[in-house]
Amino acid sequence: MLLDETNRKLVAALRRTLEGLVAPLEWSIRAVWRGEGAPSARSVLENQLLLTAQRFVDLREAPDADKQTYYEEVCRAFGLLAGGDVFPLARGTDLPPHILKRLDRTPVSVSYLETYDSRHGTAYADRARGLLFQFANLVIKSDGRVTETEEAALSEFKEALYPAGSGADGEGARARADGKKEAEAGSEAVEELGPPRPLEELMAELDGLVGLERVKRDVRDLINFLKVQKMREEQGLKPLPVSRHLVFYGNPGTGKTTVARLLAEVYRTLGVLRRGHLVEADRAGLVAGYVGQTAPKVRGVVERAAGGVLFIDEAYTLASGGENDFGQEAIETLLKLMEDRRDDLVVVVAGYTRRMQEFLDSNPGLRSRFNRHIHFDDYDQKQLVDIFKSFCRKADFRVTPEAEGELSSVFNILTAARDETFGNARTARNLFEAALSKQANRLVSLPKVDKDILSTIDAADIPGHEDLRACGIINAG
């Protein structure tokens, strides 16, 4: 059925996009149209959806009566007026050849909106392209299968929507054009950065992190190697070909994102990257649910990360969806873009040790791209206490010796029973927040409270077993 829960949400989103296009399209039509009888913006948009629905519904391997029923269901979902006895399209004048040709070139609504965008600095034409492409995807995909004929027709439709992607240099032009469109159509802007920080300051920040001795050593080795490469370039010597992409192994809460962000700044300071910003992504940000959407989605993320570091957490989920999953398409697109942007992009993939090994084995090109690996150890009991105390210092709290002793006992119990899902620093943060809640409950009953009392974490504020269960730090039962 078309309107399962996922598709209902997509229909609602597309209808909102449709409504948002009416006003700029009306302006464009008035600005461009000559003479009388100008069409309304809404009729232009709705007619384009009707034509698109007819074209792709007709590709279904189903009797004409079933096609008509499905077509009417699509029209109802989008508030469109469905024609009766539309199928087969070859009969009568329902969709004559001169109308069919309109589906093989840039839609008139997009052309109008390009005029609006050029005068107002907006991106409504890209929104219209996205609306039409997602609409076609919905029509094709809602029965749970995509035939070769449907896939070929969708590809042709995409070429009509994005003609810049079919230029002389083929896939390279398509990658740049689609990536730019994805970035303009709604990707979050990259913040402006200040001047590069000195390397000594960055290394001092790295050294100030609790634990991670092996990580600090490996990062220093990497930095020294990069510094020598820069020296070789300055002396006119050939730099050694080396991949700058990294694999971070480790359990949750072991500082992987923090180190990746610092490393991005180090790369900028050393002149390896021009911006040195960090863009975080996961499976949801890279993999789409419909044919033809995953590659543009990956290109949009890479476009934002260009000049900096793309950090993909739980990267193994890209390869965990099975044979027909679009995760493999995301991996293949990413590998291609890593090669195209090898001088302007560093990719860091992160996740559990065992699962990341499976990820690297899922595609022959992954191990050759990621040949430098850094392992993040779990924090021990003492380090977790130190992390808890660091949260206290940042929030103007202090921990009494008695509270520290209670903390040590709690972390001793938690670390003894932990598995790969243990949160490490995240657990310390959760414990800190639970302690603040207990402290608040204790203080409200006191007759007099001063600054010293308000800023003190006492032994009574450290969560016990029941408190830990209540806040989800340990499992119930």
pLDDT at 181: 44
Among residues 259, 253, 252, the alpha carbon closest in space to that of 218 is found at 259
pLDDT at 4: 62
Average pLDDT over residues 395-410: 93
Average pLDDT over residues 121-150: 82
Q: Which of 334, 353, 375 is at the close of a domain?
A: 375
Q: How far apart are CA 359 and CA 316, in angstroms?
A: 5
Per the CB < 8 A criterion, the answer to whether 268 and 274 are in contact is yes
pLDDT at 34: 61
Average pLDDT over residues 467-477: 67
Per the CB < 8 A criterion, the answer to whether 25 and 116 are in contact is yes
Average pLDDT over residues 20-49: 82
Among residues 309, 303, 246, 299, the alpha carbon closest in space to that of 272 is found at 309
Whether residue 268 is contained in a domain is answered as yes
- State whether 360 and 440 are in the same domain: no
> Is the pLDDT reported for residue 405 higher than 90?
yes
Average pLDDT over residues 427-443: 90
Other CB atoms within 10 Å distance of the CB of residue 130: 20
Average pLDDT over residues 375-386: 92
Higher pLDDT, 360 or 117: 360
Q: Which of 136, 161, 186 is at the close of a domain?
A: 161
Average pLDDT over residues 125-147: 83
Share of the chain above pLDDT 70, in %: 84
pLDDT at 321: 66
Whether residue 176 is contained in a domain is answered as no
Higher pLDDT, 455 or 105: 455
Q: What is the pLDDT of residues 84-106, one digit of tens each?
A: 777 776 443 444 444 444 444 56
Whether residue 177 is contained in a domain is answered as no
Whether residue 120 is contained in a domain is answered as yes
- State whether 240 and 334 are in the same domain: yes
- State whether 254 and 308 are in the same domain: yes
pLDDT at 6: 64
Average pLDDT over residues 6-19: 81
Among residues 256, 254, 302, the alpha carbon closest in space to that of 281 is found at 302
Higher pLDDT, 85 or 431: 431
Q: How far apart are CA 366 and CA 331, in angstroms?
A: 9
Predicted confidence band of residue 35 (pLDDT cuts 50, 70, 90): low
> Is the pLDDT reported for residue 185 higher than 50?
no
Q: What is the pLDDT of residues 329-360, one digit of tens each?
A: 889 999 999 988 888 899 999 998 888 988 89
Higher pLDDT, 183 or 476: 476
> Is the pLDDT reported for residue 434 higher than 50?
yes
Among residues 381, 384, 356, 385, the alpha carbon closest in space to that of 370 is found at 356
Q: Which of 161, 182, 210 is at the close of a domain?
A: 161
Give the CATH number, domain containing residue 207: 3.40.50.300
What are 360-367's contacts with CB under 8 Å, separation 24+? 360/247, 362/319, 362/328, 362/331, 363/319, 363/328, 363/331, 363/332, 363/335, 365/335, 366/331, 366/335
Whether residue 85 is contained in a domain is answered as yes
- State whether 284 and 305 are in the same domain: yes
- State whether 339 and 414 are in the same domain: no
Predicted confidence band of residue 231 (pLDDT cuts 50, 70, 90): confident
Number of domains in the chain: 3
Q: How far apart are CA 94 and CA 98, in angstroms?
A: 11
> Is the pLDDT reported for residue 459 higher than 50?
yes
Q: How far apart are CA 19 and CA 408, in angstroms?
A: 58
Q: How far apart are CA 56 and CA 65, in angstroms?
A: 15
> Is the pLDDT reported for residue 146 higher than 60?
yes
pLDDT at 408: 93
Average pLDDT over residues 44-64: 87
Average pLDDT over residues 39-62: 87
> To the nearest whole number, what is the mean pLDDT of the chain?
81
Give the CATH number, domain containing residue 396: 1.10.8.60
Whether residue 426 is contained in a domain is answered as yes
- State whether 209 and 352 are in the same domain: yes
Average pLDDT over residues 370-397: 92
pLDDT at 227: 86
Whether residue 303 is contained in a domain is answered as yes
> Is the pLDDT reported for residue 407 higher than 50?
yes
- Write out the two tokens for 410: 């709690």
- State whether 401 and 261 are in the same domain: no
Average pLDDT over residues 147-175: 63
- Write out the two tokens for 269: 């300071």
Q: How far apart are CA 117 and CA 136, in angstroms?
A: 24
> Is the pLDDT reported for residue 50 higher than 70?
yes
Measured on CA atoms in the order 258, 263, 266, 272, is the torsion positive or negative? negative
- State whether 63 and 146 are in the same domain: yes
Q: How far apart are CA 257 and CA 280, in angstroms?
A: 8
Measured on CA atoms in the order 365, 367, 373, 379, is the torsion positive or negative? positive
Structural domain for 121, as ranges? 5-161
> Is the pLDDT reported for residue 150 higher than 80?
yes
Tokens 């890279």, located at residue: 286
Whether residue 53 is contained in a domain is answered as yes
- State whether 364 and 386 are in the same domain: no
- State whether 329 and 395 are in the same domain: no
- State whether 227 and 293 are in the same domain: yes
pLDDT at 197: 86
pLDDT at 233: 81
pLDDT at 36: 67
> Is the pLDDT reported for residue 200 higher than 50?
yes
Higher pLDDT, 292 or 322: 292
pLDDT at 468: 76
- State whether 212 and 91 are in the same domain: no
